[in-house]
């Protein structure tokens, strides 16, 4: 007599694996775009602003109030900063409140291959036997 199988069915396993794959895909996409889709989705569901946006909004409000009192010093030229603007990480030469200074790597590009050096045997004067062989083959 056959007994009924206990445990998860095939459809239940398929649903669990599909949901795990969707979570992993969302994580990989958020890592690629340097954003956190999980906190953004949670903030949309709850109606609250995400923590990073509320902190930057509070700092921008306080900075606009203090900007009238104290002028921000000019940023030195040629310095790159890594800033988060609208949830995207960008490199900017303009001063931003949460920016970190990034050292740029100066690359020289692709160098053309150098011509091979001539053989030292070709540059040496020919011996008498070499001259005779060359004269005979002409």
Number of compact structural domains in the chain: 2
**Would you say residue 123 lies in a domain?**
no
Residue 21 lies in a domain: yes
For residues 37-50, average pLDDT: 85
* Domain co-membership, 18 together with 60: yes
State yes or no: pLDDT of 133 exceeds 80.
Answer: yes
Residue 83: per-residue pLDDT: 85
Do the domain assignments include residue 7? no
Residue scoring higher pLDDT (113 or 17): 17
Report the alpha-carbon distance of residue 85 to residue 73 in Å, rounded. Answer: 21
What percent of the chain has pLDDT above 70?
Answer: 74
Q: Is residue 133 part of a domain?
A: no
DSSP per position, 3-27:
PPPPS--HHHHHHHHHHHHHHHHHH
Q: What integer best gives the mean pLDDT of the chain?
A: 76
**Higher pLDDT pick, 114 / 66:** 114
The boundaries of the domain holding residue 80 are 74-107
- Residue 138 covered by a domain: no
Q: How far apart are CA 60 and CA 66, in angstroms?
A: 10
């Amino acid at each position: 007599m056959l007994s009924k199988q206990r445990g998860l069915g095939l459809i239940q396993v398929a649903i669990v694996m599909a949901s795990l794959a969707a979570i992993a895909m969302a994580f990989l996409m958020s890592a690629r775009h340097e954003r956190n889709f999980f906190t953004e989705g949670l903030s949309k569901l709850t109606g609250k602003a995400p923590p990073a946006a509320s902190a930057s909004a509070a700092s921008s409000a306080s900075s606009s109030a203090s900007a009238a009192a104290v002028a921000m010093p000019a940023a030195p030229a040629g310095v790159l900063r890594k800033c988060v603007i609208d949830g995207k990480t960008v490199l900017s030469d303009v001063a931003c409140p949460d920016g970190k200074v990034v050292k740029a790597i100066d690359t020289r590009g692709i160098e053309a291959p150098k011509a091979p050096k001539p053989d030292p045997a070709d540059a040496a004067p020919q011996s008498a036997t070499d001259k005779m062989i060359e004269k005979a083959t002409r």
